Amino acid sequence: MKIIRSPTTMAVWSERLVREGVKIGFVPTMGALHEGHRALIREARLRCDALVSSIFVNPAQFGPQEDLAKYPRPILQDRALCRKEGVDVCFEPTVEAMYPSGFQTMVTLPAITRRWEGEVRPHHFSGVATVVTKLFGIVRPKMAIFGQKDFQQSALVRQLVKDLNLGVEIVVHPTVREEDGLAMSSRNVYLTQDERKRAVMLYKSLRAGAEAIGRGVTDGKAIGSAMAQVVKKEPAITIDYLAVCDPTTLEPLSTVRGKAVLLGAVRLGPVRLIDNILVVAKQARRKF
Ligand code: AMP
């Protein structure tokens, strides 16, 4: 496995392969890799000829009060995982190389980032959209894989690729979970043992929402309360949002018909947990 740090060297490597018609797959990450990342890398490995994974803790997507400085950076372990899973290039640019002095272009998607994570973390998604656009320009992938875990991010990336004609196929891989259902996340290491046990309540609340839909509940507010009831059993948890939304626009649904996504974000100790479940409501059968 090659380790490339310079964006120019990375671009030259990709350019040569693209000219030869090689299909480059890409998995962008911030490192601290876990089984969720591993699943994305494995899927990309199966679908593409050459595989690039990036490890870049992108300062542009962190708020001033967020954990940029202490974000875990176990680079040797991360490289070992990438090597084991058949990554061809681990792209590890420096902050200075990605954002040299004079850098000024930012990519924003106002509608899809208006709510949920975008509301709680202003500027986060313009940081994500900007770095994804830059990485696609450097790596030139035919396909890129993102996790469903960050649902709003994956919706944003799809919209970005469509709006800017980037020509990258976006694949969204289902969320990889711990045995009890907690979505894997690099930030779970910040949880104490006690918080870790409580953290599963977010997933349980989303399940409660999905079960309500399964029982035929279609009213968005009622589904929202079914989810909130479960989280409220855990006093250590504060709800940021629990919502029933359209999976493409992420606008809240007052009535669920067909596809919906249940989105949740809560605070537990020092950690914000986010999770989601996609559901398809059974359509009422027409009677003739
Ligand atoms: P991150 O390193 O947190 O920026 O994540 C890099 C990619 O891995 C993103 O596309 C995430 O959505 C994805 N990812 C993170 N956690 C999981 C998970 N538990 N299951 C599936 N994908 C994940």
Query: Residue 145 half-sphere exposure, CB side, CA atoms within 13 Å?
Result: 23
Of all protein residues, whose CA lies closest to atom 18 belonging to ligand 1? 36
- Domains, the chain: 2-173 (3.40.50.620), 186-277 (3.30.1300.10)
Of all protein residues, whose CA lies closest to atom 11 belonging to ligand 1? 147
Cβ < 6 Å from ligand 1: which residues? 29-30, 36-37, 39-40, 146-147, 149-150, 173, 175-176, 183-186
Per-residue pLDDT tens over the stretch 123-154: 999 999 999 999 999 999 999 999 999 999 99
What DSSP line would sit under 183-241, residue for residue?
BP-GGGGGS-HHHHHHTTHHHHHHHHHHHHHHTT--BHHHHHHHHHHHHTT-TTEEEEE
Q: Which ranges of 48-150 does DSSP label H, i.e. alpha helix?
A: 75-84, 95-98, 117-120, 124-139
Three-state secondary-structure class, residue 124: helix
Per-residue pLDDT tens over the stretch 166-209: 999 999 999 999 999 999 999 999 999 999 999 999 999 999 99
pTM of the predicted model, to two decimals?
Answer: 0.97
Q: Which residues are catalytic?
A: 37
**Angle of the 75-84 helix axis to the 35-47 helix axis, nearest 10:** 40
Give CA–CA dist 82/88, Å, rounded: 8
Q: Cα(277) to centroid of ligand 1, in Å? A: 15
Atom index in ligand 1 nearest the CA of residue 40 equals 22
- Among 26, 27, 33, 40, which is best to mutate for testing ligand 1, by the most ligand atoms less than 8 A from CB? 40
